[in-house]
Structure 1
Amino acid sequence: MRHLFLGFCLLLLQPAVSQEAEVKQTILDFFKAFHARDTVAMKAVIDKEIVFHTVSEKASGVVMEAQSRENFLKSVASMSKSIAYEERLTGWNIQVDKKLAHVWTPYEFYVNGQLVHTGVDSFQLYWKNGFWKIIYCADTRNRL
């Protein structure tokens, strides 16, 4: 009876685990495309209405900068191929409620193998036509 109950509980958790795995894979696909500077692949996982925000500390204080989808994709496409960019995700907090998901991922950002800043990414995703799409991305950039 105990094994039957445990099996039933695992069966109930299956959809949530599957959704979390799909959400995580969407974020991983985003970064794979980012590192490859592949804007076509990025377009497959981001919504047309996505908004990007960056919060950082400047000499004048904390500032928030917004970037449109088009400008973000242009900046990714224009990154020099001779410079290696890598954003290493160091943790995952994924929350899913059927058609909406939130992902919180601390990260370290490297340029040519050297750590240049740390921060956190905050993604919002929604379920659209059988796929998770990123609709919002905010990140912090903490100076070392």
Structure 2
Amino acid sequence: MGCHIGLSYAQIPVSKNPPEDYDSFPFGHITTGQEKQEMLNVIDQFMIAVNTKSKKLFDQILYKGIQRIVTQVDAIKTSTTIYDNDKRLQNLASKPEQYKERYWDALIVSDGNIASVWAPYDFYLNDKFSHCGVDLFYLVKEGGAWKIAHFGYTIVKDCKKEN
């Protein structure tokens, strides 16, 4: 015999306004100071790993078995693909192209040992502008160190280049 509560989901109120005492809740704050710098150091290491195609460095800062979500945006359509990141990294070093990725204006929101980092970026292939977009990283602090547990990004071909 199963248990029936007697409520449909339509009857459960969903608030779009935070509770009045939301400011006293102990979670979800914009990260600053030393904590922010520790997280940005991981993102910097990620960029170095991309730019040097260093699987060794990726292995140090990424959890094994994670997926990456890539959303390509253009005037006609938007498509999203989910990749097995470990498979994508296996042949990275053998690719002859030179990569250059840069990010700026990172916004970090954290709650204890989890955080998200959101930052615009641009990407160059063989020193030629390729695309821009937004990087989004989910970080987890384990054993006193931050690691990337998941990441995704948008690819926008028709965007303004930064210097």
Same fold per superposition (TM over 0.5):
yes
Pairing partner for 1:70 from 86, 107, 119:
86
For residue 103 of structure 2, what is the aligned residue in structure 1? 89
Q: Distance in 2 between matches of 1:38 and 1:76?
A: 8
Q: Say if 1:20 and 1:94, in contact at 8 Å, map to a contact too.
A: yes
More helix by share: 1
Q: Distance in 2 between matches of 1:41 and 1:79?
A: 17
In structure 2, the gaps of 5 or more residues are 1-30, 159-163
Q: Which has the larger radius of gyration?
A: 2
The aligned runs of 1:1-144 (5 Å cut-off) are 17-57=33-73, 61-80=77-96, 83-144=97-158
Q: TM-score, normalised by structure 2?
A: 0.72
Identity of aligned residues (%): 27
Q: CA RMSD in A?
A: 1.9
SS in 2 for 1:49: coil
The alpha carbon displacement at 1:118 in A equals: 0.7
| Stretch deviating more after TM superposition (113-122 or 65-74) | 65-74
More strand by share: 1
The alpha carbon displacement at 1:76 in A equals: 2.2
The number of aligned residues is 128
Q: TM-score, normalised by structure 1?
A: 0.81
2:140 partner letter: Y
